[in-house]
Structure 1
Amino acid sequence: MKTFDYRAAAATADGLEPNAVFLAGGTNLVDLMKLGVATPDVLVDVSRLPLGDVAEGPDGGLRIGATVRNSDLAADPRVRDRYPVLSQALLAGASGQLRNMATTGGNLLQRTRCRYFMDPTMPCNKHEPGSGCPARAGDHRNLAILGGSEACIATHPSDMAVALAALDAVVRVDGATGERTIPVTELHRLPGDQPERDTVLEHGELITAVDVPALPFGARSAYRKARDRASYAFAAGSVAAALDVADGVVRDVRLAFGAVAHRPWRAFTAEEALRGRPATPESFLAAADAELRAARPLRDNAYKISLVRNLTAAVLTRLSGPAEPVGGHR
């Protein structure tokens, strides 16, 4: 590992030197440093800043501090009752030990696990723009089918981010030019011709909190993840959903897909196709098909289309049935 300097942040707007990065739980960053993928000169520790609380929002939602640990957030009774999709997504990620260290802000900013990105000896446009994307012709089974480009087909690995995208959550950031808010659906970039940029954050901007707005039907929500093994594995595909049904008709819906794109994929087309339609498996499948028409799979990842299609129908069918106890236990 390259040598580096360390200091504790004094404030949320504590500026960063050109090759400095923020450190919170370190569950992703330290791994990347050990591999030689990340080589910062300075680590600025933000874990001691007063950003570790979950507070009631003015509209009945929640404000989640950036350093709230994943395990604490998943166990919070307000999250379990009002937004079980978020609690379930958190519990589907990593291991218990990692959830005890990982933070809300760090989870959002974790980087892709594409094998070419994780190996600094391989060409990768995220390492060195212009060096190419060997994944397109190589190992891409778990990579993007939506929103990719010739330069990159990496996927964002977070489970939590998929749930937050479905819940219309908003990220609060602070930096040298002051505070601003960014919808979670707009925080992460599609790769385009600049795959080295994962998010719209400027250097030195720090996530301070995530605001989750009140959602009247948020208690009827769920997250489902398909993966190669039962635990401690990243998703091959996932679905976060919240559903409002009256008299057998979909009044409103929130839907997002994971492990299919460079960012959590909010399924706006599928949502629009569902509103006012019968709450039936046929409608759910048709809505998923409408969203997935934009998919551009490669040789080995076309299976994700049917996987996400079927996950969508399964989650929405379950949510459209008799109400189950809230609290994240489903």
Structure 2
Amino acid sequence: MVGTENLRRTGVVALQVLAVAGCYYAAGRLGLLRNLAVEGAVFTPIWPPTGIAVAALLIFGLRVWPGITLGSLLVIMHLTSLQPQVLGNLVGNTAAPVCACLMLRAVDFRTDLSRFRDGLALVFLGALTGMLISASVGVGMLVITDRLHGHGLWEVWLAWWVGDAMGVLIITPLLLALHGARWPPPLSRWQEATGLALITCGSVLLVTFSSLSVLFLVYPLLIWTALRFQLVGSMLCALVTSVMATVAATERAGPFEGLDRIEVMLKLQAFNGTMALTALLLSAVITEQRNTRRSVERACQELVEVLGHLTAGNTPPGGPTRPDGEAGDRAGQKETGR
């Protein structure tokens, strides 16, 4: 029995590792569909594999880290041939999400993002701090192999770091929310979600490709989706908006028309970053307030039940009862006084 149980656990872990590797590779291929060139180096404004890697480690545990390495290797092999510097990239791509996961665990991070502090931890530890490793190692390997010179070092490093961080800010909370969501939602919620999705897609398409600089019109949609559907709704809205903004930026259309490469990168990353931060932190605040309200309502309901029992002269459920000895003593005192 013990051997069978160990074999079953090994098989489950192997399947999880392969699933993580497959998702990492597929997300990498999707991320490479839209890219920008800065100082001769190509980068993606949103790198989804980092978000998948952090979410997989938080959900399945650190045991699936080989899947991140394998997926990263497959993505690199798609881009170039195997060379000695590939090992450094593999180390950076694996170490960054692993360190992010360890830092989140150290601060008692909850995967349901039910507290405002969980949102802050994911932003500052999981995304901004953890992805410093992958960006530094990746750019360092470009410098070592003479593919990047010193004058463009900081621009490429910033683009790499922000792209990896955006993957964590958008993809990780969305996957965590979908993993913890209750399925299937009520039919009424599906109807509202469908209508809101149609409105969001139409508005985002208009805003991101309009010649007017009206990207700020996305924020009312983020607030609406966060109020009605919390983390799942707001992060889906942020993902759709980020994808459409990235498409517009790579085609130099809409608000990105007439800008040079550096200006496009800065404007796009500033918009994506502030939007993702707004969606994530607002959803965390709303979820925390709703949980607090439910706790208060539950406590009030229990208090009403206790007061009802006391008014009726009954002992409330779970309340204290007088010992038999004390009741007998009082009965004896009444009988003696007659």
Structure (1 or 2) with the greater strand fraction: 1
TM-score greater than 0.5 by the shorter chain: no
* Normalised-by-shorter TM-score class: under 0.3
Q: Which has the higher helix share?
A: 2
Structure of greater Rg: 2
